[in-house]
Amino acid sequence: MEKPGYFGQWGGAYIPEVLYETFRELREVYAKAKADPAFWQEYVTLMGSYSCRPTPLTHAENLSRHFGGAQIFIKREDLNHTGAHKANNVMGQGLLVKRMGKTRVIAETGAGQHGVACATMAAKFGFACTIYMGEEDVHRQRPNVFWMEKLGATVVPVTTGSRTLKDAINEAFRDWVSNMDTTHYVMGTVCGPHPFPEMVAWFQSIIGQEARKQILAAHTKLPARVYACVGGGSNAMGIFQGFLGDPEVELIGVEAGGKGLDTGQHAARLASQDASPGVAQGYKTMFLQDSDGQMRDTHSVAAGLDYIGVSPLLTDLWEKGRVRFAAATDQEVMAALDLTIKKEGIIPALESTHAFVQAFKEAGELRGDQAIVINQSGRGDKDIFTIAHAFNDPSWKEFIRKKGEEYATR
Amino acid sequence: MQLAEQLRLARNKKEILLMTHLVLGYPSFAVNREVIQQMVANGVDVIELQIPFSEPMADGPMIIKANQDALANGTKVAECLAFAAEMAAQYDIPFLFMTYYNILFKYGVEEFLRKAKEIGIRGCIIPDLPPEEGEEYLRLAKKLDLAPIQIFAPTSTEERMRTLAGHGDGFIYCVARRGVTGSKTEFDASFDAYLARCRRATDLPLAVGFGISNQEDVRILTGKADLAVIGTATIKLVEEKGAEAVGSFIAGLRG
């Protein structure tokens, strides 16, 4: 029998003793909620009235025609309140925080999506909120910082390590070991110590539950393939759970290929040969690390995928051959984003676009009576600064320059 | 002689023992060497050698920076092992390794512990390895007669402390307060109650660390704990005044 909190050989809870009781309480409250059908009902009702659940499944007819193969369907997690699937997890954990009677939440954020979602949840439920964000990410995601602050959260730029997502996670843990009596750490993804991977996957499973019903209604049969981008892996686990029991549905996780797998500047843990088993940030998985066990710097145009580790659930499914992994480069992502905007009038986040890249590469291999589903985990229009910069758009740059002058002269 | 027994004997001669800590390769092995020489010459009883890790989750700003800078200087695990071997051969006091689990995991837990034993290390402190995840580590440490130091926290129940003590050897590292290394600790009535709880849970010597930085702190711990652990304070001192300041600082700690 597997140890609790393990998925195959991956996962676990490598936590300092000071958090032992905190995790015991969290496991207990989570187990109780999971066993209580009224809790899930409360969650679904909340997501229906506060977010946009069920999110639609859009048939991308123009893209399907363009590639001349499978019918392409897009699961629209971008239409959640705050613009990404992150809303599912934060609202679920928010309900648990209420049950635990805690009054403050903290979170890490990379792209800022989870930070904004968490600050939104805190505003709605009346919790104090502190968000840890790598200094580098604070610079590249300024609009999200603005919204977190407007929502009442304190945003702490993290200046240790590589100043990105992993360092924000370390910093959130350091806060938690001081303030666990009042504070819950709302981990943003299916990583970290048990029960976080399993618990976050449970809240995100709502994506897959809906998607399975929707594709059966729209296409009358199951899809041939389902694509999702993988940073920590929460949107991927969310949609994959709807199809894990259907062996005929192939599941594909797409990681950040950055500047190319052969350059070393990427964040592909399972799609490259560069990762190895390790234990960090409270769990065991495949990490991008050196031979001494020191974590390496990663790179991606998408801050939300720029991470050293990956969900232990996904590593297990990869090892068992249930999920196939691929990588999309920054350059491929920009081309796929441009095509999707032009053909469908849909603007995926840079993170989500990684899934589109791989789906586009494979759509032509399939027949017209087959379907594929792409999980659009978030929307890109709110990341206008990042995307305009990535497109190197001249008129946008001119606008920013003028705006700068305007502020400078005031 | 086993570490716990050795510490008990030493404790018979001194009211409180001193354990100090340093991060290997920070600011350099040459400075580490000088600092250790001064520590030993001024009566330190145990030294904790931290092998730097890129994700030091349980540490505060000062030690995070030391870890980061040591790695930026190119410090490798193999060099840390060689340096520890040199220190253990040169000085008579017990040396311990403190590091995070990934360093052992990546080296190979058995290979790492065998190597530690071979070079004269007496035990390990691994703050992110609770006994539930450390079955292999605990079994091998026991077999090799290396002390797997267990950690008590103010949030640990007495029952939990008994479980931890059952897995531990050498001494118990009692974290003085919540939070990470380096900030001030308040020694109030609840601290005394905590230490009393620790004492009831185990016969092993008790070391108290986190925020112990001066003679007054050490005096307060005398009679309550067997070892006072000085971590961040010496790192800060070396940073501000250089390695030569360590000797008189250590000498002054026990009044």
- Note the pLDDT tens digit of each residue in B72-92: 999 999 999 999 999 999 999
What's the rounded mean pLDDT across residues A105-120? 95
Q: Which of A156, A166, A289, A294 to mutate to test the interface with B (most CBs of B within 10 A)?
A: A294
- Give the per-residue pLDDT at B211: 87
Q: Which of B45, B48, B169, B217 is catalytic?
A: B48
With beta carbons less than 8 A apart as the criterion, state whether A351 and A305 touch: yes
Closest residue of chain B to A171, computed from CA coordinates: B57
Same domain membership, residue A365 and residue A294: yes
Is A121 contained in some domain? Answer: yes
**Do A30 and A177 share a domain, yes or no?**
yes
Put simply, the answer to whether B68 touches A19 (Cβ < 8 Å) is no
pLDDT tens digits, residue range A278-331? Answer: 999 999 999 999 999 999 999 999 988 999 999 999 999 999 999 999 999 999
Residues A317 and A264 in one domain: yes
- Mean pLDDT along residues A55-78: 98
- My answer on whether A60 and A107 are in the same domain is no
Distance of residue B247 Cα from the nearest chain A Cα, in angstroms = 30
On whether any CB of chain A is under 8 Å from the CB of B165, the answer is: no
Which of these ranges, A59-73, A355-369, A373-387, B201-215, has the smallest mean pLDDT?
A: A373-387
A169-196 pLDDT, tens digit per residue, is: 999 999 999 999 999 999 999 999 999 9
Question: What is the nearest CA distance from B142 to chain A, expressed in angstroms?
Answer: 21
Residues of A in contact with B155 (CB under 8 A): 17-22, 180
| Containing structural domain, residue A295 | 52-83+205-390
Looking at residue A14, what is its pLDDT? 98
A160 lies within 8 A of chain B by CB: yes
Given this model, what pLDDT does residue A1 score? 56
Do A42 and A60 sit in the same domain of this protein? no
Q: What is the pLDDT of residue A59?
A: 98
On the question of pLDDT at B229 being above 60, the answer is yes
Tell me, yes or no, whether A192 and A243 share the same domain. Answer: no
User: Where does the pLDDT of residue B139 fall: very low under 50, low under 70, confident under 90, or very high at 90 and above?
Assistant: very high
Q: Is A45 on the interface with B (CB under 8 A)?
A: no
Within-domain flag for A192:
yes
Nearest CA in chain B to A181: B155
Average pLDDT over residues B14-40: 97
Chain B residues lying within 8 Å of A160, measured CB to CB? 61, 64-65, 68
What's the rounded mean pLDDT across residues A143-147?
Answer: 93
- With respect to residue A400, please indicate whether it lies within any of the assigned structural domains: no
- Is A405 inside any structural domain? no
Model pTM score: 0.96
Which residue of the set B59, B169, B217, B226 is catalytic?
Answer: B59
Q: Is A282 on the interface with B (CB under 8 A)?
A: yes
Query: With helix as H, strand as E and coil as C, how does chain A read?
Result: CCCCCEECCEECCCCCHHHHHHHHHHHHHHHHHHCCHHHHHHHHHHHHHHCCCCCCEEECHHHHHHHCCCEEEEEEHHHCHHHECHHHHHHHHHHHHHHHCCCEEEEEECCCHHHHHHHHHHHHHCCEEEEEEEHHHHHHCHHHHHHHHHCCCEEEEECCCCCCHHHHHHHHHHHHHHHCCCEEECCCCCCCCCCHHHHHHHHHHHHHHHHHHHHHHHHCCCCCEEEEECCCCHHHHHHHCCCCCCCCCEEEEEEEEECCHHHCCCECCCCCCCCEEEEECCEEEEECECCCCCECCCCCCCHHHCCCCCCHHHHHHHHCCCEEEEEEEHHHHHHHHHHHHHHHCCCECHHHHHHHHHHHHHHCCCCCCCEEEEEECEECHHHHHHHHHHCCCHHHHHHHHHHHHHHHHC
Residue A390 has what pLDDT?
86
- Give the model confidence (pLDDT) of A227-285 as tens digits: 999 999 999 999 999 999 999 999 999 999 999 999 999 999 999 999 999 999 999 99
Does the pLDDT at position B19 exceed 60? Answer: yes
A245 and A152 in a single domain? The answer is no
pLDDT of amino acid B22 = 96
Interchain proximity A278–B105, CB inside 8 Å: yes
Give the DSSP H or E segment for B147. strand B147-152
Q: Is A397 part of any domain? A: no
CB-nearest partner of B133 from A12, A170, A287: A12
- The whole-number average pLDDT for the span B205-224 is 94
pLDDT mean over B222-229: 96
Q: B115 contacts in A (CB within 8 Å)?
A: none
Q: Which residue of B has its CA nearest to A276?
A: B106
Is residue A170 domain-shared with residue A142, that is, in the same domain? yes
- Contact at CB, A18 and B155, closer than 8 angstroms: yes
Same domain, A273 and A299: yes
Q: Among A153, A169, A196, which residue terminates a domain? A: A196
A275 within domain boundaries: yes
Q: Is residue A155 part of a domain?
A: yes
Q: Does residue A172 belong to the interface with chain B, where contact is any CB pair within 8 Å?
A: no
Domains of chain B (ranges, CATH numbers): 3-149+212-253 (3.20.20.70)
In a domain, A396, yes or no: no
- The percent of residues above 90 in pLDDT, for chain A, comes to 91
Instruction: Provide the domain count of chain A.
Output: 2
- Say yes or no: A315 contacts chain B, CB-CB below 8 A: no
Domain identity same for A249 and A375: yes
Strand A57-59 versus strand A71-76 pairing type: antiparallel
Say yes or no: A76 and A91 in one domain.
no
Residue of B nearest to A296 (CA): B54
A156 and A277 both lie in a single domain: no
Q: How confident is the model at residue A386 (pLDDT cuts 50, 70, 90)?
A: confident
Q: Are the beta carbons of B58 and A16 separated by less than 8 Å?
A: yes
Q: Give the Cα separation of B7 and B17 in Å (integer).
A: 8
CB contact under 8 A, B103 and A293: yes
CATH number at residue A98: 3.40.50.1100
ipTM for this model: 0.95
CB within 8 A of A145, min separation 6: which ones? A112, A133, A138, A155
Nearest to A281 among B55, B64, B103 (CB): B55
